[in-house]
């Protein structure tokens, strides 16, 4: 048996979550250090996976199992990753560790916050490594309650409303996924939840042969994952959740959770229902275009700094939809790379919003002005993140977006042309926001604001480094993804 790197990566944070409630009362600093230490094994495992992952191989690697778990229902403990999962498996512990450091200022119910955060990290990692549909669903649901409480207890003034809205939207998707999972189990040969077996049956053995029934299953999964992305018109929970959530939870939400929707679509809907996915590809591209343009227009209209970044996430996730709907090598690589790049760039943006909010105690864009004179180092870090978000050549966002456009133009030229206007809109609202907050005459109310500190620099520096490296040399990540995505795309080659 190989070293269980995926098990350690997944469950090391859970051990920390179990230990934290038993720590001495009033030792908040100890709680924070235990939480940070609990994320380190996952980060080390991610570094090892990056080093040991065999490039050019389409199949699963670091496989653990299948081991019998619930024998009566043929449920297995089965883990593994391929080129689709590996970018997010690497990103999840990195973002989680950064968020633990960014949460150092939490003073309310510290034990509960960090225990729930570590439980959330276990759920997020498990989603990307699970190869049993039942296990995948368990990890998917494990994320729901921690996120609900992290928003509902530690969030802003309307935290209860935002948390309930997030919970209800996500629960609807979970119920749809559950129904499809049960259908897969009863209609599969041998009654299995094994995802590799289900994919093989769906593509080669004609599982769920009734077209109407298969269409219903496809729609159920697509809606479940579309809510998580979120795809218009299921997007309304996201701005509220982001605005009310603590900074670190907004980072996790944008950096990791939204990507699970795209991951689920490509992991399940593409290989299990290739004919139906191909049939509705144009609509997937259209909704990607709507996300790009609508999200950018909504962002431009915002006065709240954090809500603007939230709508920008909706816009940028549209590129993933557009790229994957092209069924081209460039488009698929661009979509999955965009998942990773958006995670690093948007994480920076929400951290930057949090830094300013901690000092000024508001997020009104019009209420600032001239911050670059007061906090010059902070202005530089913000400029890098902003330029990455608008897709400046030389930074990672440009690479994934240009790959999406190259692939999508082959399949949907007019949709791609209209979608490209989102790049202009993004540049408009990003530069306009930077001008209003950082340029011009310094606001006298904020002359005493301290500049960015070393703890905040530590949270931003790894993300900025990744943005520069992948902007100049994206081959590092593309080589890990390409073989798997080519094999998925080959299903659609007529």
CB 437 within 8 A of CB 368: yes
Is residue 420 packed enough to be buried (19+ CB in 10 Å), middle (13-18) or exposed (0-12)?
A: middle
Side-chain-facing half-sphere of 430: CA atoms under 13 Å: 25
**Looking at the domain assignment, is residue 419 inside a domain?**
yes
200 occurs within a structural domain: no
Lowest-pLDDT range, 9-18, 36-45, 135-144, 195-204? Answer: 195-204
pLDDT of residue 442: 79
CB atoms within 10 A of CB 424: 10
Q: DSSP letter string over 163-223?
A: HHHHHHHHHHHHHHHHHHHHHHHHHSTTS--BHHHHHHIIIII-SS--HHHHHHHHHHHHH
209 — pLDDT class (breaks 50, 70, 90): low
**pLDDT at position 15 over 70:** yes
Residue 2 falls in which region: left (phi positive, over 0), alpha (psi -120 to 50) or beta: beta
- Domain range for residue 320? 280-494
Residue 237 lies in a domain: no
d(CA 79, CA 63): 6
Higher-pLDDT residue of 205 and 21 is 21
In a domain, 33, yes or no: no
For residues 322 and 422, the answer to whether their CB atoms sit within 8 Å is no
Report how far apart, in Å, the C-alpha atoms of 302 and of each of 155, 293, 298, 307, 488 are: 20, 15, 7, 7, 39
Quote the pLDDT of residue 206: 57
Separation CA 312–CA 378 (nearest Å)? 21
Do residues 474 and 394 touch, judged by C-beta distance below 8 A? no
Query: Is the pLDDT assigned to residue 88 strictly greater than 90?
Result: yes
Q: Which token pair is 159?
A: 């935290």
- Does some domain include residue 272? no
Gap between the Cα atoms of 143 and 128, Å rounded: 12
- pLDDT tens-digit series, residues 110-147: 899 999 999 999 999 999 999 999 999 999 999 888 99
| Nearest CA among 363, 273, 332 for reference residue 485 | 332
User: Does the pLDDT at position 466 exceed 60?
Assistant: yes
Q: Which helix (H) or strand (E) holds 61?
A: strand 61-70
pTM of the predicted structure, to 2 decimals: 0.90
Using DSSP, state whether 425 is helix, strand or coil: helix
How many Å apart are CA 96 and CA 487, to the nearest integer? 30
Mean pLDDT, the chain, whole residue set: 89
**pLDDT value for 205:** 53
**394 within domain boundaries:** yes
Convert the pLDDT of each residue in 450-461 to its tens digit: 888 888 899 999
pLDDT for 494 equals 46
Q: Is residue 32 part of a domain?
A: no
- Label residue 326 exposed, middle or buried (CB < 10 Å: 0-12, 13-18, 19+): buried
The arithmetic mean of pLDDT across residues 276-303, rounded, is 91
Total domains in the chain come to 1
Residue 224 lies in a domain: no
- The pLDDT of 268-297, averaged and rounded, is 90
Mean pLDDT calculated for residue range 197-222:
77
């Amino acid at each position: 048996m190989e070293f269980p790197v995926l098990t350690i990566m997944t469950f090391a944070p859970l051990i920390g979550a179990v230990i934290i409630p038993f720590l001495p009362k009033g030792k908040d600093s100890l709680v924070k250090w235990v939480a940070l230490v609990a994320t380190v094994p996952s980060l080390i495992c991610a570094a090892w996976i990056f080093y040991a992952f065999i490039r050019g191989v389409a199949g699963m690697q670091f496989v653990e199992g299948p081991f019998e778990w619930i024998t009566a229902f043929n449920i297995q403990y089965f883990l593994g990753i391929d080129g689709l999962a590996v970018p997010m498996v690497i990103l999840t512990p990195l973002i989680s560790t950064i968020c633990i450091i960014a949460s150092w200022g939490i003073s309310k119910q510290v034990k509960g916050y960090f225990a729930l955060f570590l439980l959330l990290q276990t759920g997020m990692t498990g989603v990307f490594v699970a190869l049993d549909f039942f296990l995948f669903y368990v990890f998917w649901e494990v994320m729901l309650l921690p996120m609900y409480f992290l928003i509902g207890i530690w969030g802003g003034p309307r935290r209860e409303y935002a948390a309930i809205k997030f919970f209800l939207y996500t629960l609807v998707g979970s119920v749809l996924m559950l129904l499809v999972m049960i259908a897969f189990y009863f209609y599969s040969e041998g009654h299995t939840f094994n995802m590799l077996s289900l994919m093989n049956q769906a593509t080669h053995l004609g599982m769920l042969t009734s077209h109407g029934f298969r269409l219903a299953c496809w729609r159920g999964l697509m809606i479940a994952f579309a809510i998580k992305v979120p795809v218009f018109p299921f997007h309304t929970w996201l701005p509220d959740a982001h605005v009310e959530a603590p900074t670190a939870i907004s980072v996790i939400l944008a950096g990791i959770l939204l990507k699970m929707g795209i991951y689920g679509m490509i992991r399940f809907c593409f290989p299990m229902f290739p004919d139906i996915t191909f049939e509705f590809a144009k609509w997937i591209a259209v909704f990607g275009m709507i996300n790009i343009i609508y999200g950018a227009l909504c962002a431009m209209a915002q006065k709240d700094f954090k809500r603007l970044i939230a709508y920008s996430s909706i816009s940028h996730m549209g590129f993933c939809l557009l790229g994957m709907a092209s069924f081209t090598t460039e488009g698929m690589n661009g979509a999955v790379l965009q998942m990773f790049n958006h995670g690093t760039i948007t994480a920076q943006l929400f951290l930057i919003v949090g830094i300013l909010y901690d000092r000024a105690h508001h997020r009104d864009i019009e209420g600032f002005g001239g911050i670059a004179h007061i906090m010059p180092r902070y202005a530089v870090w913000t400029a890098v993140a902003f330029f990455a978000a608008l897709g400046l050549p030389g930074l990672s966002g440009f690479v994934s977006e240009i790959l999406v456009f190259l692939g999508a133009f082959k399949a949907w030229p007019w949709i791609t042309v209209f979608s490209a206007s989102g790049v202009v809109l993004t540049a408009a609202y990003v530069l306009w926001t930077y001008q209003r907050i950082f340029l011009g005459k310094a606001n006298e109310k904020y002359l005493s604001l301290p500049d960015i500190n070393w703890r905040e620099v530590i949270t931003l520096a790894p993300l900025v480094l990744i943005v520069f490296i992948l902007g100049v040399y994206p081959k590092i990540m593309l080589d890990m993804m390409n073989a798997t995505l080519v094999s998925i795309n080959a299903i659609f080659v007529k």
